[in-house]
Structure 1
């Protein structure tokens, strides 16, 4: 089993409230969930008005597929232009034993 994990940070220009931030975060999560078969959640910077941290995860047997799926989500979020992407980290985790 392979697990792809991605942490993305965004900056919200001109935002001045947690309510405004929640609206953007909800929109991002809802759009990703409706288009991709991945898990997505706000994972940090919860009380900072102009900062968003999202975590994305995908699970499967094929590392190339998982890598491609996560990259598509990252590109999609960037193209939405709801906030400026400032950082993106990806990790692929191998779980279990390989049998030959």
Structure 2
């Protein structure tokens, strides 16, 4: 079993309140969850209006599939016009390594 996780750091566009931030972040989280069938949540920068950190995890039988899913999520995240993807941190581990 292979486990992959990634942390996406976003700079949001013209957002001036946490309510506006939610209206930008929620659709991103929902889209990733629906398109890629992964666990995803906003995990950081919770008090900042113009920043969002979204965490994603995936489990699969082989490493290639985990890598493919994480790469697809990164491409989708980078292509969103309403946000700027500042950085991505990824890690893939085998369950035997835990």
TM interval, shorter chain, is over 0.9
What is the DSSP-based 3-state SS (H/G/I as helix, E as strand, rest coil) of the residue aligned with 2:30?
A: helix
1:50 counterpart residue number: 50
Deviation at 1:91, TM superposition (A): 0.1
Larger radius of gyration: 1
What is the DSSP-based 3-state SS (H/G/I as helix, E as strand, rest coil) of the residue aligned with 1:47?
A: coil
- The structure 1 segments of at least 4 consecutive aligned residues displaced by more than 3 Å after TM superposition are none
Q: Which runs of 5+ in 1 are unaligned?
A: none
Deviation at 1:67, TM superposition (A): 0.5
So what's the TM-score if we normalise by structure 1? 0.91
1:34 counterpart residue number: 34
What is the DSSP-based 3-state SS (H/G/I as helix, E as strand, rest coil) of the residue aligned with 1:24?
A: helix
In 2, Cα distance between equivalents of 1:18 and 1:31:
20
In 2, Cα distance between equivalents of 1:43 and 1:93:
20
Tell me if 1:79 matches 2:79.
yes
Tell me if 1:2 matches 2:2.
yes
Tell me how large the CA RMSD over aligned residues is: 1.2
Q: Which runs of 5+ in 2 are unaligned?
A: none
Deviation at 1:13, TM superposition (A): 2.6
So what's the TM-score if we normalise by structure 2? 0.93
- Residue correspondences, number: 97
